[in-house]
Structure 1
Amino acid sequence: MSQKQLPPQFYKLMEELQAVDFVLVDLTLYLDTHPNDMDAIQQFNQMSEVRQRLKIEIEKIYGPLQQYGNSYSSYPWNWNESPWPWEL
């Protein structure tokens, strides 16, 4: 299967999504040991909203990012189109 060419904007959005995911992982680890830090919880919730908006924007233009009901598919079924997020 040949990999389709995507515009530079796709890679910019994916890089932004990966940065937000890194922040969320880091905050999760911190909150595991500091569960009462209200500022960190607020940051986590804010970044969760940013991630959700990015995910929706990316999927609306380029297709689904996650399987098992975490992302919708357009018609026709588009899970067989590459590149997949782990191929970037």
Structure 2
Amino acid sequence: MKNLCQLSQSQLLNLINKVSFAVDDIHLFLDSHPKNQEALAYFHEHSELRNAALKEYARRFGPLTIDTANDTASKSWEWIEQKWPWEGGNC
């Protein structure tokens, strides 16, 4: 896989979707298998990749989630003013 900063916007969004699904799925598995070390390692690895991809997407195209919208330099809630994906923005 390419470095996250080398991915196009659509490639990065696709990666975020895939990794988010994997994290959600393994989270459900861990609910019933909490001592499975292989699953726990998979969860940590993919959670870190998801967080890194979300941060990279937010840096380049604007935040997708509230936890990547931490913009302490702004004096207002400016990220809400960007075009939404269904309006032709960030896709």
Q: Same fold (TM over 0.5)?
A: yes
Instruction: Map residues 23-34 of structure 1 onto 2, 5 A cutoff.
Output: 23-34=22-33
User: What TM-score does the superposition give when structure 2 sets the normalisation length?
Assistant: 0.74
- Give the distance between the partners of 1:82 and 1:44, measured in 2 at CA: 32
- Alignment gaps of 5+ in structure 2: 1-6
Q: Which amino acid is the alignment partner of residue 29 of structure 1?
A: L
**What are the ranges of 5 or more consecutive residues in structure 1 without an aligned counterpart?**
1-7
1:2-81 correspondence to structure 2 within 5 Å:
9-67=8-66, 70-71=67-68, 72-73=70-71, 75=74, 77-81=78-82
- TM-score, normalising length from structure 1? 0.76
* Percent of aligned pairs with the same amino acid: 23
Q: Which has the higher contact order (CA 8 A, sep 6+)?
A: 1
Count of aligned positions? 77
Tell me which amino acid in the other structure corresponds to 2:62.
G
CA RMSD of aligned residues (A): 2.0
Shift of 1:62: 0.4
Stretches of 4+ aligned residues off by more than 6 angstroms? none
